[in-house]
Chains A and B, each alone.
Chain A
Amino acid sequence: MINKFVASVVDALHGIEDGSTILLGGFGAVGQATHLIEGLIETGAKDLTVVANNAGYGRVGLARLLEAGRVRKLICSFPRIAGSTIFESLYRAGRLELELVPQGTLAERMRAAGAGVPAFFTPTGVGTRLAEGKETREIGGRTHVLEYALPGDVALVEAWQADRWGNLRYRAAGRNFNPVVAMAGRLTIVQTQHIAKLGELDPETVVTPGIFVDRVVHLPHGDPVL
């Protein structure tokens, strides 16, 4: 019997190595696997590269992980948000490397990784400082920039419902990057608000099929707080 549910955050995060690249779902607080992110601190893993849309806020989730000094590099589209003070101070002090990526390029680089496409050309960023030094090509009379796939050693996902095969559904805008990082992580770990019995999720409405999921932990923590 396949059962991807594990009992605890510690079990869910077992085996994550130093130097890993960690992909995070979530857009701000919504759909971010906050408990798994904070759980990384307890694993002791360090020298991490974290890929996320935002760089955390206040002293929760990613901001806590940054504060604990476990992150070497952040790959991010919109790090500076209200309350992102921990990111800002680390970045200004030169203690955090930042790779700034347009949001659609960030999503597509992870989608490409999950889909087995090593690189792609995009019109986004042409002629801007974020395309400096990158290969370009004229295609159909328009200039494009070459961008490489961005796979993760680990992906951390927040779902609304999960069954024991790892089939997932999300809630409203909590979907965001989650299905994308789920495909792009070699080890995809999910925290879910609700457990569904196998067969209970309508197959027409499963958003992330269990093939992309390795471990699930049930953490009914409630609604995100902005």
Chain B
Amino acid sequence: MSRPTASWTPLSRTEMAARIARDIPEGWYVNLGIGVPTLVADHVPVEREVIFHAENGILGIGPAPDAAHVDPWLINAGKQYVTLRAGGSYIHHADSFGVIRGGHLDLCVLGAYEVAETGDIANWATSENDMAPAVGGAMDLAVGARRLWVAMEHTTKEGRPRLVRACSYPLTAIGAVARVYTNLAVLDVTPEGFRVLDMVPGLTLDDLQELTEATLSPAS
């Protein structure tokens, strides 16, 4: 953070994941992107039945296996070993993206470089001249899931705001983001721009606005 003060503390990556997990109800079908989003699954208790999907054709991902129980044929989209819980199933790639594009997922959580107040998201390339680009399933997920939430740090390491009026990095999708969870706040994307739902203890709306390029409005 650019100006940490004694009065508030940003959430850790684990705390961000736990905060997101709190808002996912039983019964949702959910795809989690790489990074903080992947950690969200660890904070949804197994008895709250949320069905996690991976682009490479898995529905019903369970907890990560310990070293003795790795199945070398069972990886997620981040190419980490996973397990399949009872009730899980395998589908091929075209069906898996039918799940995504067809609006069957209740939620996708992605990381991002920037989110604009219009809901535009930039999360796959950092410059127009990226010498070895990779997009994966991000563009399909962003337009296809019924809700897109983003998990990211509120600013870059250098203190540059990530919540912006218009994205400066190449876009992943336009007008797609519904909600952003940062290490400082939870914000909904509304027709009037970002609306702050929640902030870390001790942080004021003025503090948050100073770290944000887009104009913020309070919850009520």
Contact = CB atoms under 8 A, between A and B. Distances in A.
Do A and B originate from a single complex? Answer: yes
Interface string B117-149: 000000001001001111111111001100000
Nearest to B174: A127
Interface stretch (A64-72, A133-141, A169-177, A212-220): A169-177
Given A91-B132, A124-B101, A172-B90, A102 B137 contact: yes
Contacts of A110: 94
Given A107-B93, A107-B96, A123 B72 contact: no
Interface residues of B, number: 43
Interface stretch (B7-15, B55-63, B187-195, B203-211): B55-63
A78 B132 CA distance: 10
A57 B111 CA distance: 24
A125 B75 contact: no
A78 B135 contact: yes
A27 B75 contact: yes
Contacts of B58: 173
A122 B101 contact: yes
B139 A30 contact: no
B173 interface: yes
Given A124-B101, A128-B170, A30 B75 contact: yes
Contacts, number: 145
A30 B80 CA distance: 11
B57 A103 contact: no
Given A123-B143, A175-B57, A176-B57, A103 B137 contact: yes
Interface stretch (A5-13, A38-46, A80-88): A80-88
Interface centre among A53, A105, A173 (most CB of B within 10 A): A173
B135 A77 contact: yes
B22 interface: no
Interface in A69-121: 77-81, 84, 87-88, 91-92, 98, 100-105, 107-108, 110-111
Nearest to A222: B72
Nearest to B80: A226
A170 B173 CA distance: 33
A101 B138 CA distance: 11
A177 B90 CA distance: 12
A136 to B, nearest CB: 12
Given A103-B136, A207-B92, A124 B144 contact: yes
Contacts of A207: 92
Interface string B71-84: 11111110101001
Contacts of B72: 30, 223-226
Nearest to B94: A111
B97 interface: yes
Interface string A172-213: 111111111000000000000000000000000001000000
Contacts of B173: 126-128
A152 interface: no
Contacts of B77: 27
Contacts of B79: 27-28, 81, 226
B73 A30 contact: yes
A180 B132 CA distance: 26
Contacts of A108: 94, 97, 101
Interface of A: 27-28, 30-31, 53, 77-81, 84, 87-88, 91-92, 98, 100-105, 107-108, 110-111, 122-130, 170-180, 207, 223-226
6 A-B pairs closest in CB distance: A104-B97, A104-B140, A223-B72, A111-B94, A172-B73, A127-B174
